Structure 1
Amino acid sequence: MTDLKQTLGTWQLLAFGVAGVVGASWIYTNSAFFDLYGAGGVLIGLAIGVALAACIASAYSRFTAVFPRAGGEVVFAYATLGRGASFLTGWMLLGAYVSSLAFYVTAFGYLLGNFFPWMNTIPLYTINDETVYLPVLAVGVVLTLVYFTLNWFSVKIGAQVQLLMFLAIIAGGLALAVTGFSAGSPGNLIPAFGPEAAPFADTMRFVIPGMTFLAGFGLVAVLAEDARIAPAKTGRLVVLTVLLAGGFYLLVLLATAWVLPWQEVAAMDLGTVDAFRAAGFPALGAVAYLIAVLGLLTSFLGLFVACSRVMVAMGRAGLLPSALAAVHPRRGTPHIALVFVTVITLALGWLGPGAVTWFLDTGGIYLGVVWIAVTLAYYRAPRRYPQVRGATPWWENALPGIGAAGALFVIVLALLPGTGSSLVWPAEYIILLAWLALGFVLYLGGARKPDAEALQSLTGSTAAGADRRGGHEG
């Protein structure tokens, strides 16, 4: 078995993590959030969501330090819960990743269409009331192939591109924050809730989308085998990813509610973009839009790379065809898995946002299942791997359980009709059941490896928690 080439240093890995989490739509849809939940509900609810995600990330952190291997959650679940739980975890993770990747194929073109109207010309077809245009689809296909090419030769090339976009996002966010806080007033934020609002209920309702804002923090764990830094440090970067991404969200949203009265922002169309334009800073409105564009690009790239690593892990364990685990002997990249990711992304991406949104909405359930599985693995770990939890105080060991409870809450609200977060009937329920059924068939029909062999393939020399990098810091 060939290991992936270790090329990612601290900054590259952090860029994949944080920039992979910070998406696009939040920066121009926060006007709708303010209208529904009030600025207070958005900011406090998001802060609670960040705290819950950080609780789950603490389990990821400890697992990653012991098992710094491709696939992250797939490895954690197999090592502690067994083959069935590992397949479910990996299959749910693939469902979430593939749904997002397919959405990004056309989302980038539609985002550009706000500046370049010619993007929305030459209609091809309409699915679920959303028309797919030739320029939009063409740009998405080209972007997908560019990402494939970047990672075909070395993940380091893609990581350098990710790092540059990450730094641009951070610089833009700081510019918005400095201007918003210096030119605005706390009186624009307070009172943080409308006169007819129910502050507690509005806050708690935003916890769910707040948690989904942090959905990609597991990228660091998934890419751990590509890292050339000490596993313990890689593990700490998982939690740092949640805190930095969550802090970035909160900073920009707070600045948006500070630069203008948030009630005015709630009546606008493009949230932060329109808020800074109306406050007399049109250049910063463009910066906010640029953050949205870069956020989409970085999330697309991060998930593209991570999806291939999940396939590698499942191939190693015999949960999916073993060919997916192949690593190019010279480039050290998972070339076959990268081809599969590209094919699946394009195969679903052409459907456009109307259909792909159905897939995307089920992603919250998939990720909730993954978070719960990692938490269960964390509490089961001491039976075979006591080093995962170590001598930690009881309150620290309780954190993943708190986060998992939040994840279960998300799943229940999505499955129950009429909650405001429910799946769309019947399309999204059918997609969910179809994905589970396909996974069940693949699981039963796969060529099963002996558990000891599969576990050795997954964990490599790290099965006993050994540091295969000798503590090297990159």
Structure 2
Amino acid sequence: MNQPTGPASPHLQRRLGVADAVLIGLGSMIGAGIFAALAPAARAAGSGLLVALAVAAAVAYCNATSSARLAARYPASGGTYVYGRERLGDFWGYLAGWAFVIGKTASCAAMALTVGSYVWPEHAHAVAAASVVALTAVNYAGIQKSAWLTRAVVAVVLTVLAAVVVACLTSSAANAGRLDVDADATLTGVLQAAGLLFFAFAGYARIATLGEEVRDPARTIPRAVPLALGITLVVYAAVAVAVLTVLGPRGLGEATAPLSDAVRAAGADRLAPVVRGGAAVAALGSLLALILGVSRTTLAMARDRHLPHVLAAVHPRFQVPHRAELLVGAVVVVLAATTDVRGAIGFSSFGVLVYYAVANASAWTLTADENRPARIVPAAGLAGCLLLAFTLPAASIAWGSTVIAAGIAAYGTRRAITARRAS
């Protein structure tokens, strides 16, 4: 791959090892999955929630495998934006980058609003905006500081979730019969829930988008991606089972703060404030890594002038794409102050599923010498992404398709202007 050179487009420093990369992936996934997507997914799937979780995990595994092989081959900032460009052509790379930036910007807003709703519900939007400003400053100070903060966040969240699981499963209110799949679980509902839960699994993309900042990417990325995904799946399954045994599918679907409600139903009222604090910390961890990933894809697209080239600058001291990070932070502040968390999840899922559809199509083109996965993996991943994307709520599909189409129109307009100037 042709790397940009020269003082206008310097490369980032490789500072992250396997443990740091795994922790950044965990910080992206765990907060989003448990505290933002679980209740909406339960409303869609009913008693089929665990089936939906398995479907989302299977699609995520295919995407993770394809992404890891591609990231090892192309260890540069940008993730599938780079893979699509190199394997399928300029348009497909642009489409992936655009889908990622819009989808994950919506994710940032959802996570910021989750922080606000747990910390100070009466002023959730103000808290959300302040959180974005604070974490943008952390990312601006350098990737190593972000990795250390993510490590602390993951430790706190896993401790809180373990306490929730123990409290629920050891409670007299727990009933294993609530895990049974009943007639209310329809195929459409399960697929819609899987699409919403996919929002939670997509954090491993942060590892791929940091490809230019990990040491020995050919070894680090293929190890870090499945490790992060596997740990997250175990955590999701344990928490989902524990909460379902206490609240049941209907109670979980109606809950506004499902984990807090679950520990109260389990008779552990004193644990509820701890859970609220853990939720806020988890969402902060997700927000930290999300801003990190979106800014790196913005950097890659700016290098290729799909976005203003001024965003390709790397800070000479902190070695981060500081202008991209400031722009992303500013956009998320506006969204966090004006949008609703539920709509943001569906919109984000649509964009990210389009992104991974391009990743799987790119992985299909790898040769045996390039360590391609078994062909069934990218094929199943591509089909799964498209299926889940178009079984999301109608509003999410409509808004997502509209914004994707707007991005395609902008690409076509730019190409036409460039061709006219060349002639």
What TM-score does the superposition give when structure 1 sets the normalisation length? 0.78
Question: How many Å apart are 1:112 and its aligned residue?
Answer: 2.0
The answer to whether structure 1 residue 214 and structure 2 residue 240 are counterparts is no
1:319-334 correspondence runs (5 A): 319-334=306-321
> Which amino acid in the other structure matches residue 323 of structure 1?
V
Are positions 1:85 and 2:70 aligned together? no
2:386 is the alignment partner of 1:398: no
8 Å Cα contact 1:111-1:293 kept in structure 2 = yes
Cα distance, 1:407 vs structure 2:
0.8
Matched AA of 1:248:
V
In structure 1, distance between residues paired with 2:306 and 2:59: 30
**Contact 2:39–2:253 (8 Å) recurs in 1:** yes
Q: 1:86 deviation in Å?
A: 0.9
* 1:11 paired to 2:15: no
Name the counterpart of 2:74. Answer: 67
Task: Please say if 1:53 is aligned against 2:35.
Answer: no
Of 107, 130, 143, the match for 1:155: 143
Render the CA deviation track for 1:404-423: whole Å, top value 9, x for unaligned: 11111123324xxxxxx212
- 1:103: how far off? 3.8
Distance 1:443 1:362 in 2: 27
CA 136–211 in structure 1, closer or farther in 2 if over 3 Å, else same: closer
- 2:394 counterpart SS class: coil
Q: How far has the Cα of 1:339 moved from its partner?
A: 1.9
Deviations 1:18-55 (A, max 9, x none): 1201235744774665465344x111220121011101
Extract unaligned runs of 5+ from structure 2: none
TM-aligned CA deviation for residue 378 of structure 1: 0.9
Aligned letter for 1:290? Answer: G
Report the Cα offset of residue 254 of structure 1: 0.8
Measure how far apart 1:426 and its partner are: 7.0
What's the secondary structure of 1:328's corresponding residue?
A: coil
Instruction: Say which SS state the counterpart of residue 391 (structure 2) adopts.
Output: helix
CA distance in 2, matches of 1:67, 1:56: 16
Instruction: State the alpha-carbon separation in 1 of the partners of residues 255 and 137 from structure 2.
Output: 39
Q: State the one-letter code of the partner of 2:82.
A: V
The alpha-carbon deviation at position 176 of structure 1 amounts to 2.1
Quickly say closer, same or farther: Cα 1:77–1:4, change in 2 above 3 A: same
C-alpha distance in 1 between matches for 2:281 and 2:54: 23
**Equivalent residue, structure 1, for 2:50:** 43
Contact 1:189–1:257 (Cα < 8 Å) also in 2 = no
SS at match of 2:220: helix
Q: Deviations over 1:310-348 (max 9, x none)?
A: 011112223223322222233211122112212222343
Displacement after TM superposition at 1:276 (Å): 1.3
| TM-score computed with the length of structure 2 as normaliser | 0.86
Cα 1:208/1:103, change in 2 over 3 Å: closer
1:70 Cα offset (Å): 0.8
In structure 1, the residue matched to 2:394 is 422
Return the letter of the residue paired with 2:212. Answer: E
Alignment CA distance shift 1:365-1:25 (3 Å): closer
Partner of 2:357: 372
CA distance in 2 between partners of 1:183 and 1:358 (Å): 34
Report SS of the residue matched to 1:189: helix
Identity %: 23
- The equivalent position to 1:407 in structure 2, one of 385, 389, 394, is 385
Separation in structure 2 between the aligned mates of residue 329 and residue 34 of structure 1, nearest angstrom:
47
What CA distance in whole angstroms lies between the structure 1 residues aligned with 2:400 and 2:349?
12
Question: Structure 1 residue 179: deviation in Å?
Answer: 3.3
Q: Relative to structure 1, is the Cα distance of residues 257 and 157 closer, same or farther in structure 2, using a 3 angstrom cutoff?
A: same
SS at match of 2:395: coil
- CA 1:150 to 1:49, structure 2 compared with 1: closer, same or farther past 3 Å? same
* 1:89–1:191 CA distance, 2 compared to 1 (3 A): closer
Classify 1:250/1:435 alpha carbon distance in 2 versus 1 (closer, same or farther; 3 Å): same
The Cα of 1:173 is off from its aligned counterpart by 1.5
Deviation readout 1:378-431 (Å, 9 max, x if unpaired) = 11232xxx54335x6xxx3311211211111123324xxxxxx21269766655
SS in 2 for 1:71: coil
Given residue 179 of structure 1, which amino acid in structure 2 is its aligned partner? A
Q: Name the structure with the higher helix share.
A: 2
Change (3 A) 1:444 1:184: farther
1:109 is aligned to 116
Say whether the 8 Å CA contact 1:184–1:260 is kept in structure 2.
Answer: no
Q: Secondary structure at the match of 1:22?
A: helix
Match of 1:467 in 2: none
Deviations 1:90-142 (A, max 9, x none): 1111111222223444443233234xxxxx2xxxxxxxxxxxxxx44433333
When residues 238 and 445 of structure 1 are mapped into structure 2, their CA distance, relative to the original with a 3 A threshold, is farther
Per mean C-alpha deviation after superposition, the further-off stretch among 1-10 and 255-264 is 255-264
* Counterpart contact for 1:74–1:89, Cα < 8 Å: yes
Which residue matches 1:192?
Answer: 180
**AA matched with 1:56:** N
Q: Residue 164 in 1 paired to residue 152 in 2?
A: yes
RMSD over aligned CA atoms reads 3.1
TM-aligned CA deviation for residue 60 of structure 1: 0.7
> Given residue 74 of structure 1, which amino acid in structure 2 is its aligned partner?
Y
Q: Which runs of 5+ in 1 are unaligned?
A: 115-119, 121-134, 415-420, 449-474
The reply to whether residue 232 of structure 1 matches residue 210 of structure 2 is no
